[in-house]
Amino acid sequence: MNCLDCASTERTVPAIGVCHDCGAGVCLDHGDIRVRHLMRTTTVAREVPVEPATRVVRCCMCGSALAAVGTSTRASRRHRSKATNN
């Protein structure tokens, strides 16, 4: 698999991963690799982080869109669930 963004500029660069959101192949230049802490619910609905942390790879477009929203994936899910419950 090759990087989608590099292919749009007519370059062939092997992908190092796949975007978590859109599934596009990404190279080191176009990939945004972040640390993600998974959460687990314990008694009394308390959330605690799971160790070790995981990685999330996003293409530059999905990374930019997520940064523009200014929220994490967990927070956006929580917001959507509150909106549907009201």
Neighbours of 57 (CB within 10 A): 18
pLDDT at residue number 71: 55
The pTM of this model reads 0.63
Residue pLDDT tens, the chain, 86 long = 999 999 989 999 999 999 999 999 999 999 888 888 888 888 887 888 888 888 889 998 988 888 888 755 554 454 444 444 44
Q: Is the peptide bond before 14 cis (omega within 30 degrees of 0)?
A: no
Q: Is 14 exposed, middle or buried (0-12, 13-18, 19+ CB in 10 A)?
A: exposed
pLDDT at residue number 14: 95
